[in-house]
A and B are shown apart, each in its own frame.
Chain A
Amino acid sequence: MRYSQVTPKEIYLNRRRFLAAALALPIPAAAATLTAVKTAFNAGNEKITPQKIVTTYNNYYEFGTGKDEPAKNAPKWKPNSPWTVRIEGEVAQPKTLDVDQILKLAPLEERIYRHRCVEAWSIVVPWIGFPLSALLKQVQPTGKAKFVAFESFYDPQQMLSSRKAGIQFPYVEGLRLDEAMHPLTLLTVGMYGETLLNQNGAPLRLVVPWKYGFKSIKSIVRIRFLAQQPPTTWNLSWPEAYGFFSNVNPNREHPRFSQAEEERLGEGTVFSPKVIKTQMFNGYGDQVSKLYASIDLKRFY
């Protein structure tokens, strides 16, 4: 058989796309294998949530406000190539780095973290990345820097409008400098041994395991060091419900969702879903409680 007789790759890929669309299945966007060093972070040996759940049940309002919408809409999006991140503000050396440069800054680690959503569900995910501090140190923050602000990619042409989603875009988040520099705070590029899918925040996101999921901003394009606390998207939309800190806290009553317990997705059956007690700081208190020793967590929620 001559090479020309073989169906060209684009055509059979298109055929797959067509079939997938016809069956209304999310098109599996290319996820490349990613090798990472195993670490001692294992979320207390809790069961890892099936990958399928983590890639099909998402809060990523830019791609739709339904849980199933990001998996349907995000694969069509082509992240900019090269993907660059601008790092600026109260720093000695502002920089624009692309993902390839960022990936060379530190060895990739696999860390299994509990991930607790403010909507009272949780998952356990083997993330791949390295501590955010490795990136932040590159730009030499000045003495004035007290906070770090993050901004997501936003293109109104390809994504939901702010008006429809009901929250402000581009999505912005922020951490106190000591939180951002904390060794648990993970700059994340992959999960389950692969690069991130678009619906999970490709190509680069944050994972802050002791805070509610919405603090772990996706598809980062800009990082700024600031002297003042930056505005954050969910806090702007409903300040009483979503605080700047948003540390996982079963003792702080939330006006919408009970935070005392959580539904662990992917376990239990349809008639008896697995519901477990929520832990203070999502179980990471040993590592992070000292960050908040001097503040009242009920007031600074």
Chain B
Amino acid sequence: MNRFLSSPWTKAVLFLLALVPLGVLVWLVWEAYRTGNPTDYVSANPIEYITHYTGDWTIRFICFTLCITPLRMLLNRPQITRFRRMLGLFAFFYGCLHFTVWVVLDPRQNTIPAIWDDIVNRRYITVGMLAFLAMLPLAITSTAGWVRRLTFKRWKKLHRLVYLTAIAGVIHYWWLVKSDIRLPLMYAAIVTVLLGYRIISWMRKRKPVVDRTPQPTVSTS
């Protein structure tokens, strides 16, 4: 198990796996373009399809990234942390695609004022932008150099911003759906468990376990 987790191959395979959703999307878009028939590949509404596709993978990768710490603790395998940066950067990568598709593909957002108007007036976009922008400093400071420059303690503190991204991401999805909240509810449950695990383990660390051995009582009478 340890050999598997430490192997450079494992990381390479994981990297390729994380690219599969992109590969599928490129193929779908290419086929839609080549055949001139988007309906069969990216639905009758390509803007909606591609925006949702990239959004789905962003929130999935945020969840994958948040799984790393609990997994490391539960399995007691510190090597698992090796995969965290890569998964986090993939979340950012799919988030960038999601944002770019929204801005570039949809002609309704083709001017800065139109984009700004949407960010200010539509709460699901406001909170989505918040989730995206919170990832930006994390992606920038993801290198070893930045960990050194910030000191590990401050770097760690900064990277707690990912919790904000996760929560804002779920709210973004929740406010976006018209009425069927089953999928956002599922992500809300996943994020609650992943963040709840951290809160519980943090509280445990802070408060040492109370000694429950019975104390001899002093009789006063």
> Footprint of B on A, CB under 8 Å?
50, 52-53, 56-57, 61, 65, 67-68, 120-121, 164-167, 237-238, 253, 255-256, 258, 260-261, 263, 265-266, 269-273, 275
> Footprint of A on B, CB under 8 Å?
29, 32-33, 36, 38-39, 41-48, 105-108, 118, 121-124, 177-182
With contact pairs A56-B39, A270-B29 given, residues A61 and B179 touching in the complex (Cβ less than 8 Å)? yes
What A residues does B38 contact at CB under 8 A? 269-270
With contact pairs A52-B39, A67-B43, A266-B44 given, residues A166 and B180 touching in the complex (Cβ less than 8 Å)? yes
Q: Are B124 and A256 in contact (CB under 8 A)?
A: yes
Most chain-B Cβ atoms within 10 A of its Cβ — which of A121, A253, A255, A270? A270
What A residues does B123 contact at CB under 8 A? 255
What A residues does B106 contact at CB under 8 A? 273, 275
With contact pairs A266-B39, A273-B46 given, residues A253 and B33 touching in the complex (Cβ less than 8 Å)? no
Known: A238-B178, A270-B33, A273-B47. 6 other contacts (CB 8 A): A65-B178, A256-B122, A263-B45, A270-B41, A270-B42, A273-B107
| CA gap between A165 and B181 in the complex, in Å | 8
* Total CB contacts across the A-B interface at under 8 A: 76
| CA gap between A137 and B107 in the complex, in Å | 46
Q: Are B122 and A255 in contact (CB under 8 A)?
A: yes
What A residues does B108 contact at CB under 8 A? 120, 258, 260-261, 275
What A residues does B36 contact at CB under 8 A? 269
What B residues does A271 contact at CB under 8 A? 33, 105
Closest to A121 in B: B45
Mind listing 21 A-B residue pairs with CB under 8 Å? Answer: A53-B39, A56-B44, A57-B45, A67-B44, A121-B45, A165-B180, A237-B179, A238-B179, A255-B123, A258-B118, A265-B45, A266-B39, A266-B44, A269-B33, A269-B36, A270-B29, A270-B33, A270-B38, A270-B46, A273-B45, A273-B47
